[in-house]
Structure 1
Amino acid sequence: MKLDGKSLEIHRRHLLAGGLAAGALAAAPGLRGARAQGGTLLRVAANTNPSTLDPVTGRSGGDHQFLYPLYDTLIRWKPETMEPIPGLAKEWSYPDDTTLVLELREGLTFHDGTALDAAAVKAHLDRARSAETSNIKVDLSSVEEVEATGPTTVTLKLTAPDRSLPLILTDRAGMVVSPTAVEANGGSVDRNPVGAGAFRYVEWQDMQIVAYARFDDFWEEGLPRVDRLNMAIIPEVTTGVRSVIAGQNDVVVTVPAVQKVLLDRAPDVTVHAEPSLYLHMIYMDFSKPPFDDIRVRRAMNLAIDREAFVKAAMGGLGEPATTLYPKAYWAHDDGLEDILAYDPDRARALIKETGVEQVEFTAVAYQDQAAIQRREVLMSMWDKVGIKANVTTTTVAEGSQKFFFEKSVNSFFAAITARPDPSMVPNIIFGKDSSYNGGRQAIPGMDDAIAESRVGTTQAARKEALSQVQRIALEQAVFVPLLFEVFIVGVSDRFTGYRPNLLGRPRYEHVGPAAS
C-alpha cells in the first residue's frame, strides 16, 4: 500500500466465490428477499445500535453507517484516496488564508421539502458550532463566523488558517440537517432525522432495525440503486455473518478477522478485506487515579506485545499500532515507533516505582466475541507486570455514555473510527475541549501542536506538525494504541456496486441488484 498527499494506492483483496440463492426472510418483519413489496430491498447486518440519528449530537463512531444514507455532505471524499470532491457544494475556494467559500448546487431540497440553501447551511453549521448538545464543536473550532453571502454561497470566516476544513466537511460537520426539522423537534432530531441524503428515514426500533426508503428528489441522477434499505441491528457479528451466508441479509459489516474464514468458504459472497485507518485503542481518564500517574500509563503501553496481540486476537489480520497512523499513511512517523514499544521489564519497574505490587483500574468494553478475545489477551499481558483490569461489558453507546459523559469508569476499551483529515483524530481524542478527551484537561503543548497541524498548506509542513502531536501523546502516554483494523465486509453476489474505502465506513447509495 502506498500513500502520498495526492494519491493513495491501495492493493485490495477481493476474495470472490460463486452466487447466493435469494429468497430467505428479510431482517424486518414482512419484507422478503431482494425484491420486496415497495421495490428493491437491500438488507444490511449492522453490528451496533446507533447512539442517535443526529450527526451533531452523536457520540459513537458506529453511527456513521446509519447517518450516511440520511445526510449527504457538503464535500465528499474519493473512496480510494480520501481526496475531497464535490458534494452538496459543487466547488469551494480559499480567497485568503482565513476565508473558505462554499458554492452549493442549485435546487437542493431536504427530505421534508424545504430548501437546502446557504441559509440552511449557515443554520446547520452554527448549531454544530454552538449548540449545547453538539459533540462536534471541536471539529469547527477554527470557524469564527458563518455567513450566507448569496442564495447558494456560504462563507466561513476563520480565526486562523485551516486547510483541514474541506475534509472535515465530509464528516459529521458537513452532514447538513434540516433547520426546519430541528426547530419543529425542539432542537433535536435524534429520533426524527431529516437530511438530504439518498435515503429518507422510515423507522428506528432500538436494537432491532433502522429502515430507510429512497429519496426521489436526491440530486445525483440514478442514485440510490435500491428502493429500500433495512439495517438490522445484530451486535453478535457471527450471527450477522451467518445471516448473509443463509440469505437472510445481503451485507454484513465490521466482520472480525476470526470470522472471515466463514465468508471465504461461502458460495456467492464477495469478501472485501481492506486496510483502514480504524484504530483500536484504550481511552484513559488521566485526571484521576490510577491514570493520573504517568508511570501507570506508560506501563499499560509497555506491557503490550502488539505483534503477539494481533496474531492472538485478530488472526494476524491488522497492523500493530504504536502511533496514531499506520505505516503506509503519509502522516506516519517511523521515528516515533519505539516510544511505547513492548518492554515488560520496564513496565514492571514502573509499577514498582508507584509503591504498590499491583495497580487496578475499572473499564467498560464491548460485549461481542471478538472484543472479549482482545480483552482477554490484553489482561493476560498486563497481569504479568502487575496491572489488573476490572472490566464491565456493554454496548457501544452505553460504554461511551459511561466513560465519556458519566465518567463512572477509568477507561474504555474501544476505538477511534477513521476521520477524513489526519488532524481530526488527535483533535477529537486529545483536544482540551473535546468530549473524547478522557481527562477533560489540557495536555501540555497539545492544543498548539494540533492547531499547527491544520495550518500548513503543504503536506510536508502538516506532517511535521502531526509528528509533534503524536510525540506529545506518546511521551505523555495519554492513550493506548493497539492495532489498525483490516475492514472486512461480506456482500451477497446478488448485489454489486459496494465501494470499500480507507475509512472503513460503509456507504450504500451505489449498491444495487446485480444483472441477472
Structure 2
Amino acid sequence: MSHNVISRRTPAGTIHVVDPSPFNWLHVLENTMEAPVKADRNGRVIPALAAGLKWVDDCILEMRLREGGVFQDGQRLTSKSVKENFKELQRWPSPHSFGSWLNFHEETKILIVDEHTVQLQFPYPDGLVPGKLRFFHIAASNFWRKIGFGYAKQGTGDGHWSMLDAPGPWGSGPFSLTNGHSSILSQTAIISKNPFASAWLTVREDRSPYIVLQANQNYWNPINSAKLERVIFRNDLSYDHALRLCTSTEGQVDLVTGVLPKDAEKVVQSPYTRLVNEKGNQVIAGIFNLFRRDVNFSDRKLRLAFNLAIDREEIVRKGFKGYADLVPALTPFWAADFPENLQPRQFNPARASQLLKNARWRPGRPVKLASTEKYQTIARLIASQLRTNLQIEAEVTIVQTDQELSFLKTIAEKKLVPSWDIFLTDATASFSEDTPFYVHREFFGRSGALRAGPELVDFDQLYKRMVIQTDRKTRINRAKAIDQFIFEQAYALFLCIPQSLYAVNKQVHFTPYKTMLDLAETEVTEKHWSRRR
C-alpha cells in the first residue's frame, strides 16, 4: 500500500524526558535525522531511508532508496542527497565519535545508478557495511551550508559526526529539532598510526537546558509517524531530582531513562509511575592487563581461575538488585550471533584456587582491580569475593570523574603499562548481529580502545574472517565462533549485562528498544496532564 493513501493520525500530547545517558546526542539525532538503516525493537538491522540493500558482489553494495522520502525543509530525498552526504563524511579521517572503526575505507567510491539507487564500491570486502550505515545519517543540503556536524561550532567534522549543534529542519525523521542542542566535546586518542585507528574520549557534554522535538507533520512515512506532538528533554534537572519529580508529581517529568537498580523499587511503589525494563546492550566485563610483567595473564589457567572464583549470581543479586542478566562471554543472549551452546561458567572456588596455584600466583601479591565510579559497587563486591574465594588480597582503585579521561587515554594509546591487573568496564552492542564488531573488537582488536595487551593473533584472524564475509548467515556463524573462542580462552572476566530501566508515567505508553531510544511510537492517554488542559 502506498504511503500516500494511508491516513495520518494527528499527534497529541507532550512528554518531559530526563535522559542522563551519555548517548543523549545520538537519541536526539536518531529521532530527527534518519540513516539508510536503523535498529528495530530487538536490535535487528532494518531499512529506514533505504528500501533495500543488495550485494552485487563482495565489493559493491547497492542501495535502493525509498521513493517519496522528503526532508523537513521540503527537499526531496534522491541519490544526489546520499552522494552529497557521503562526500561530506569522507572528508574527515575520524568523523565518528565512537572511533575510526566506523569509517568507510578512504578509497570507497559512490556511484549514482538512477534517481533512487546508488552503489557503494569498496576496495575490499566489508560485510560490516550494513551496520555502519546506521551511523551514516542523511541531512538536507541546507544543513551542510548552515551548520554541518561540528563545522560551524568546531570548525571540523572530526569526532563530531551525528551531533546537532543547533535546531533546524535538518533531517527527515518523525520529529524536528525546534529548540536546543545536544553534543559532546571530545579528545582523540591515537591507537595506531599505520593502519590508522583512533578513538574519541568524552571531555564533557554540551546540552542546552531544554531540547524540544516537534512532530514532523509532513513525515514521509505515516506508518511510523510520531504519535506525540512534542517531546521536551529536560537537562536542567539532576537524575535524583528528576526521579523524585517523576515518582511524586505529574506534569514535570514523564520519563526517566537509565534508572539505577537501587531506585527501581521507588518507581514500582509510586502511584504515578511504572517501571519498564528491557534487556540491555551494555556488556560488563573485566579486562585482564596482558601488558603486566609481574603477573602472567597470558596464562589461560590464571584467567580461568579468576572467572571461576566469581559468583555472578551474587553480583546480579547484590550489585544490580536482580536487574541484570548473566552472559557466558561477551555476546548478549538475545543477539542473532549468540552461540546457543554456551552457558555461563559455574562458580567453583575450589577449582579456582587450584588453578591459581598451578599458575604460580606469587604468595602475598594482591590482585589490583580498577573501575570508574560507574561500577565501583561491582568492583568492591568482586574484590570481596576474591579475598574469600582465592584467599588473596584484593586492592580496588576507583577512578574519579576528573581523572577518567587521562585513565582511558592511557589504555587506548597503549604507550604506558597501566598499574592495574583487571579493569571493570563495558562495551555497547549497537545491533543484534555483528556483535564482535561493537564489543569484542573494542576489548581485543587492533583498533580496540580497551585492549590492554599485545594484539591477539588468533583473535585477529577469526575477526578478519568475519569482516570479509558479506553473506549474513555465514557472518553470523563466524561471529559465534569468535564468542566461543573468547569464552574458551577466558580472555576477560565475564560478568553480566545490566537491564535498561525506565521510570514512566502511567498515562504514557512507552515501548523500549534494546539498542536505542525511539520515541516515535510513544503516546499518551487522554488522561495525561498534557491532554487534560
TM-score, structure 2 as length reference: 0.72
Among 365, 372, 376, which residue is 2:372 paired with?
365
Contact 2:323 2:499 in 1 (8 A): yes
* CA distance 1:148–1:137, change in 2 (3 Å): farther
* Aligned partner of residue 230 in structure 1, secondary structure: strand
CA distance in 2, matches of 1:187, 1:73: 21
Matched letter for residue 450 of structure 1: Y
Aligned equivalent of 1:342: 347
Instruction: Report matched runs for 1:292-303 at 5 Å.
Output: 293-295=297-299, 297-303=303-309
Among 419, 424, 435, which residue is 2:430 paired with?
419
* CA distance 1:166–1:307, change in 2 (3 Å): same
Aligned equivalent of 2:214: 214
Matched letter for residue 379 of structure 2: R
* Aligned partner of residue 395 in structure 2, secondary structure: strand
* CA distance 1:346–1:144, change in 2 (3 Å): farther
Among 299, 305, 309, which residue is 2:311 paired with?
305
Please report how far the alpha carbon of residue 137 of structure 1 lies from its aligned counterpart in structure 2 after TM superposition: 2.9
Contact 1:69 1:508 in 2 (8 A): yes
Aligned equivalent of 1:473: 486
Matched, 1:87 2:64: no
CA distance in 1, matches of 2:228, 2:370: 43
Aligned equivalent of 1:33: none
* CA distance 1:294–1:212, change in 2 (3 Å): farther
Aligned equivalent of 1:202: 180
Please report how far the alpha carbon of residue 249 of structure 1 lies from its aligned counterpart in structure 2 after TM superposition: 1.0
Please report how far the alpha carbon of residue 213 of structure 1 lies from its aligned counterpart in structure 2 after TM superposition: 3.4
CA distance in 1, matches of 2:238, 2:493: 24
Larger radius of gyration: 2
Contact 2:336 2:432 in 1 (8 A): no
Contact 1:302 1:341 in 2 (8 A): yes
* Aligned partner of residue 445 in structure 1, secondary structure: helix
Contact 1:121 1:154 in 2 (8 A): no
Matched letter for residue 413 of structure 1: L
Matched letter for residue 36 of structure 2: L
* CA distance 1:119–1:160, change in 2 (3 Å): closer
Contact 1:223 1:510 in 2 (8 A): yes
Among 386, 392, 397, which residue is 1:390 paired with?
397
Please report how far the alpha carbon of residue 458 of structure 1 lies from its aligned counterpart in structure 2 after TM superposition: 5.3
Among 232, 236, 241, which residue is 2:235 paired with?
232
Matched letter for residue 180 of structure 2: V
Could you report, residue by residue, the CA deviation over 1:53-105 in whole angstroms, capped at 9, with x for unpaired residues? xxxxxxxx6754344234322212321x4333331223322222332122334
Matched, 1:158 2:169: no
Matched letter for residue 508 of structure 1: L
CA distance in 2, matches of 1:208, 1:246: 25
Contact 2:213 2:230 in 1 (8 A): yes
CA distance in 1, matches of 2:376, 2:234: 24
Aligned equivalent of 2:186: none
Could you report, residue by residue, the CA deviation over 1:276-309 in whole angstroms, capped at 9, with x for unpaired residues? 3432223455334567623454444332111221
CA distance in 2, matches of 1:176, 1:212: 19
Among 316, 324, 327, which residue is 2:330 paired with?
324
* CA distance 1:203–1:464, change in 2 (3 Å): closer
Among 40, 43, 52, which residue is 1:78 paired with?
40
Aligned equivalent of 1:42: 15
Aligned equivalent of 2:245: 243
Could you report, residue by residue, the CA deviation over 1:186-206 in whole angstroms, capped at 9, with x for unpaired residues? 213457267524232613585
Contact 1:104 1:118 in 2 (8 A): no
Matched letter for residue 225 of structure 1: L
Matched, 1:100 2:100: no
CA distance in 2, matches of 1:316, 1:494: 26
Could you report, residue by residue, the CA deviation over 1:404-448 in whole angstroms, capped at 9, with x for unpaired residues? 547666464332223214323345424634243423742122223
* CA distance 1:164–1:488, change in 2 (3 Å): same
* Aligned partner of residue 103 in structure 1, secondary structure: strand
* CA distance 1:85–1:458, change in 2 (3 Å): closer
* CA distance 1:93–1:463, change in 2 (3 Å): closer
Please report how far the alpha carbon of residue 388 of structure 1 lies from its aligned counterpart in structure 2 after TM superposition: 2.5
* CA distance 1:484–1:300, change in 2 (3 Å): same
Moved more, 107-116 or 470-479: 107-116
Please report how far the alpha carbon of residue 223 of structure 1 lies from its aligned counterpart in structure 2 after TM superposition: 2.7
* CA distance 1:362–1:218, change in 2 (3 Å): farther
Please report how far the alpha carbon of residue 344 of structure 1 lies from its aligned counterpart in structure 2 after TM superposition: 2.9
CA distance in 2, matches of 1:440, 1:463: 27
Q: Paired residues, what number?
A: 456
Could you report, residue by residue, the CA deviation over 1:433-481 in whole angstroms, capped at 9, with x for unpaired residues? 424342374212222322333426353x334312321233234444322
* CA distance 1:64–1:390, change in 2 (3 Å): same
Aligned equivalent of 1:281: 285
Among 373, 378, 400, which residue is 1:374 paired with?
378
Please report how far the alpha carbon of residue 255 of structure 1 lies from its aligned counterpart in structure 2 after TM superposition: 1.9
CA distance in 2, matches of 1:143, 1:94: 20
Matched, 1:187 2:156: yes
Could you report, residue by residue, the CA deviation over 1:126-179 in whole angstroms, capped at 9, with x for unpaired residues? 257x33776443234678513041554332223554444324423x34576954
* Aligned partner of residue 94 in structure 1, secondary structure: strand
* Aligned partner of residue 487 in structure 2, secondary structure: helix
CA distance in 2, matches of 1:253, 1:193: 23
Contact 2:59 2:122 in 1 (8 A): yes
Among 502, 505, 511, which residue is 1:499 paired with?
511
Contact 1:100 1:155 in 2 (8 A): yes
Give the ranges of 4+ consecutive aligned residues of structure 1 lying more than 6 Å apart after TM superposition: 110-116, 406-409
Matched letter for residue 176 of structure 2: F
CA distance in 2, matches of 1:396, 1:318: 28
Matched letter for residue 428 of structure 2: T
* Aligned partner of residue 169 in structure 1, secondary structure: helix
Unaligned 5+ segments in structure 2 are: 1-11, 183-204, 528-533
Aligned equivalent of 1:68: 30
Contact 1:286 1:292 in 2 (8 A): yes
How large is the Cα RMSD of the aligned pairs?
Answer: 3.8
Aligned equivalent of 1:30: none
Contact 1:403 1:409 in 2 (8 A): no
Among 136, 145, 154, which residue is 2:108 paired with?
145
CA distance in 1, matches of 2:471, 2:361: 45
